[in-house]
Amino acid sequence: MENSLITIRPAKPEDVAATVPLIYSSGPAAWDYVFNEGKISSQDFLTKSFQGTKNTFSHKNHYVAEKNGEIVGSIVIFRSENFFFQNAATAGNIFRIYKLRAPKVAVRGLSMEGMIQPPKSGRLYLGHIAVPGKERRQGIAEKLIRFAVSVYPGYEKISLDVSQENPNAQGLYKKLGFEIVEARNFSGPKGLVPNHYYMEADRSSF
């Protein structure tokens, strides 16, 4: 897809250096809460996971936006049909990477899933929507979302989560037809990770 010099394509393993910081920027507090453990940082974990093929954070689930050959945006697409298997692969990665510390990471991950939940049946779920600061307000995030929706035309409902402390993202999503369905609170230490809104939109909005 090309529009105003923006090209959107499937992510590749070699995109890792440019894409992982974007994925991380989509929710740094949440990433750090779950995946910072000992000497292993959340970005270390994301880097290894992105280069894999079967886990939730694999490049195979992501698309990137390019501008003049530079990656300027990311998005992930999840579907309930295969999320269980991808999540199981992610759990395997946690135990391989963190070893004896893995149970602590897994417990925090389960806690986070109480707020940022797996995709509901019949919903196309979008996440990791991120654009670097210098490239914002150029419509890149909107292009990524519209493209992601077009990839799977069989879904009538599109869903996502957004931080309650990110009014700019909320404004974009509402402009695209998303509505707040539920306010979800972080169950961990108070103030460590922002609470989120779960939002849905009808395909007809796009």
Strand 157-163's sheet: what is its strand order?
Answer: 2-3, 6-10, 62-67, 70-79, 123-130, 157-163, 196-202, 179-184
- Report, at the CATH architecture level, how domain 2-155 is classified: 3-Layer(aba) Sandwich (3.40)
H or E element at residue 194: none
* Amino acid 2: pLDDT: 44
Compute mean pLDDT per 10 residues along the chain, 206 residues long, and list them: 77 99 98 99 99 98 97 98 97 98 98 97 98 95 98 97 98 98 96 98 96
* Amino acid 4: pLDDT: 57
Beta bridge partners of 78: 125
* Amino acid 94: pLDDT: 98
Residues near 95 by beta carbon (within 8 Å), at least 6 away in sequence: 102, 106
* Amino acid 107: pLDDT: 97
* Amino acid 3: pLDDT: 46
Which residue ranges make up each domain of the chain? 2-155
Whole-angstrom distance, CA of residue 51 vs CA of residue 82: 19
